[in-house]
Amino acid sequence: MIFEQFFDKTSSTYTYLISSGKGREALIIDPVLEKTNEYLNLLKNLNLKLVKVIDTHIHADHVSGLAELNEKTDCVTVMGEKAQADIVSMYAKDNEKIKIENIELKTIYTPGHTDDSYSFLMGDRVFTGDTLLIKSTGRTDFQNGNPNDQYHSIFNRLLKLPDKTLVYPAHDYKGEKVSTIGEEKKLNPRLQVNSKEQYVTVMNNLKLAHPQLMDVAISANRKGLTLKEINNRNN
């Protein structure tokens, strides 16, 4: 299997490229617009055909590469059905299977960070978006975020996966690349709570500043803008 984890320093975003092998179909999760050429180069070098691109949710901290990759490769653009984005060509339901050649991902609806947040389970690993981060969880204070929903998504869905399941989030701010469900159960400070109420109190008292790019990113990601369209907007 080909499994590549990219990191965007500006937004601390992780992007994943997956394929069953050289010359086969590929899928990308959470691409960052400015990194499009990096992805295209790797696809070319490995003779991969990009057929699907997924965003785990509407991102507020970077512009997604969905529209640009769709324009360049004609790939199918996928998001969970609760997302409202003009660029999406395939909406996935909870528990739905997303397939490419020899690879299958199962959608898990995990609202809380936003109401359009989805995780994707692929065999021994799960892509958790901003729902479950390494030793942290995604903020719940905008884009219809809700700490009650997030508690349910984490405790009743993600933490029910086997302990050895690898956790690949959409962001990390401390340089950690991967974790496991078992490790997060034990070591994630936000998950060391005795009740949902306690978790909600923790999340409602984070007092975080809004992301710098928030207004630009959310509107660009809802519309699904390409690099050219963004540049035209800025001129």
Residues making contact with Fe ion (CB under 5 A): 130
For residues 26 and 67, which CB has a smaller minimum distance to Fe ion in the complex?
67
For residues 130 and 149, which CB has a smaller minimum distance to Fe ion in the complex?
130
For residues 2 and 6, which CB has a smaller minimum distance to Fe ion in the complex?
6
Q: What residues contact 224, with CB distance under 8 A and at least 6 apart? A: 64, 66, 67, 70, 77, 85, 86, 87, 88
Beta strands 166-169 and 136-137, pairing class: unpaired
* Euclidean distance between CA atoms 174 and 171, whole angstroms: 9
Q: How far is the CB of 162 from Fe ion (least distance, A)?
A: 26
For residues 161 and 218, which CB has a smaller minimum distance to Fe ion in the complex?
218
Q: How far is the CB of 128 from Fe ion (least distance, A)?
A: 11
Is there a contact between 96 and 137 (Cβ–Cβ < 8 Å)? no
* Euclidean distance between CA atoms 127 and 108, whole angstroms: 10
For residue 183, give Cα distances in angstroms to 108, 164, 179, 201, 217.
20, 8, 7, 23, 32
Here the tokens at position 75 are: 């790939």
Q: How far is the CB of 133 from Fe ion (least distance, A)?
A: 10
The residue at minimum Cβ distance from Fe ion is 130
Q: How far is the CB of 117 from Fe ion (least distance, A)?
A: 8
For residues 25 and 112, which CB has a smaller minimum distance to Fe ion in the complex?
112
Three-state DSSP state, 68:
helix
CA dihedral 173, 3, 86, 224 (to 10 degrees): 60
For residues 25 and 130, which CB has a smaller minimum distance to Fe ion in the complex?
130
Is there a contact between 111 and 82 (Cβ–Cβ < 8 Å)? yes
Which residues on adjacent β-strands are paired with residue 180? 166
Q: What is the DSSP letter of 152?
A: I
Here the tokens at position 68 are: 């640009």
Q: How far is the CB of 118 from Fe ion (least distance, A)?
A: 12
Q: How far is the CB of 212 from Fe ion (least distance, A)?
A: 14
